[in-house]
Amino acid sequence: MKILYGVVGEGMGHATRSRVSLEWLLAAGHEVHVVVSGRAHRFLGERLAGRAGFSLEEIHGLHLRYEGNRVDLSESLRRNLEQGPEAFFRNVAAYLRLQRQRFEPELVISDFESWAYLYGLAHRLPVVSIDNMQVLARCRHTIDTTALESFSYQLARTAVKLKLPGAYHYLITSFFYPPVKKPRTTLIPPILRPEILAARREPGEHVLVYQTAAANSELVPMLQRLPGSFKVYGLGRAGQEGNVTLCPFSETAFVDDLRTARAVVAGGGFSLMGEAVHLRVPLLAIPLEKQYEQELNARYLEKLGYGSFAESFNEADILGFLGKLDQYSAALQSYPSPDNGVLYGCLAELLARVAIGEPPPDWLDHPAPGKWEGPLRALPDEP
């Protein structure tokens, strides 16, 4: 089957997750044309170059600017508006190149990416969504996960609903499984790269710290005031500063430092959180300000006892978290740490249904940890 696959380029979690799906599709003999923006373009090009049936096209996507532990909305808006004309012409050129190549996809898969989705809409192709964001809009969440930031929750949920409406099916990757309230929705375990599946847990003495906002100048001085050793990724520099080791990006070193960490301190991004839970490493999640999807992840992490949630990087919350590691480690022992089998089974079923022209299925036959249970048990939407 010919498949157009769109990957959003903001953050690397979408790219590492999509790599797993793409490798399975290519190994199954499908022809896949990937459209992707940002750093994810280079990452996927390096990982999949030379694979039979694989082609790659760089498009222009939206980019966020950060200040401290928050998104700088005004600067993000200014930069994206400034780059708007260039982005428009680059994406139109990508569309024309795809037409000249006479690549005629039969299916579109989107990891929260709009270019491929809009292509599928324009050509009346079935679109399969694979991401973690749709958990906001297609699942029912209890009041303790939404009450504190109800406006942020409603805003984020609306934005997600408008991103990929009317997809053929939604595969939502998650380590928590709230009730599914909408048809054509299946919850699947976190999608894990092979390096994580091969890793073996050997707790050491260091705390792994991952910070995507390189402008957070207060982080290292704060960690230096805390007991223990810290390995910090994401600040864009390397070196030793007291008890803090600043690490350059290395996928191999990062996985090794993750599996041997006694704990992780990071943002609320889903990919690293899913990897830490899989390896049973306690995690303190500190979401970006006003990023409700990240806050939702963090609140479920805390609710399940796998770690803790904090609103900002501060000494008291980190010390409190480190004082409860035995408690979190005990809770994590109950997590089953599944592999990617549910993803592959669901994808195989969806491809087979598309191939014979079936209408969108309300639920899939393949076993999964969460599905819509039919109209008689459908849950009402939030007010």
pLDDT of residue 75: 47
Q: Which two tokens stand for residue 122?
A: 């324009």
pLDDT of residue 40: 83
pLDDT of residue 89: 46
pLDDT of residue 176: 96
Listed in sequence order, the residues at least 6 apart from 238 whose beta carbon sits closer than 8 Å to its beta carbon are 246, 247, 248
- What is the average pLDDT score of the chain? 87
pLDDT of residue 117: 94
The predicted-structure confidence for 259-306, as pLDDT tens digits, reads as follows: 999 999 998 889 999 999 999 999 999 988 777 888 889 999 999 999
Vertex 133, ends 129 and 136: CA angle to 5°?
115
pLDDT of residue 165: 95
pLDDT of residue 124: 96
Listed in sequence order, the residues at least 6 apart from 326 whose beta carbon sits closer than 8 Å to its beta carbon are none
Q: How many residues does the chain have?
A: 383
Sheet holding 127-131, edge to edge: 54-58, 31-36, 2-7, 107-111, 127-131, 169-173, 185-188, 370-371
b/e code 17-55 from CB counts within 10 Å (16+ = b): bbbbbbbebbeeebbbbbbbbbebbebbeebbeeeebbe
Q: Which two tokens stand for residue 45?
A: 């090009």
The predicted-structure confidence for 183-210, as pLDDT tens digits, reads as follows: 999 999 999 999 999 999 999 999 999 9
Listed in sequence order, the residues at least 6 apart from 42 whose beta carbon sits closer than 8 Å to its beta carbon are none
pLDDT of residue 64: 47
Ranges of residues in the chain whose predicted pLDDT is under 70: 10-11, 60-96, 100, 143-152, 212-216, 376-383
Strand partners, 129: 110, 170
| CB-based contacts of 56-60 (< 8 A; 24+ apart in sequence) | 57/33, 57/94, 57/97, 57/98, 58/94, 59/35, 59/90, 59/91, 59/94, 59/115, 60/86, 60/87, 60/90, 60/91
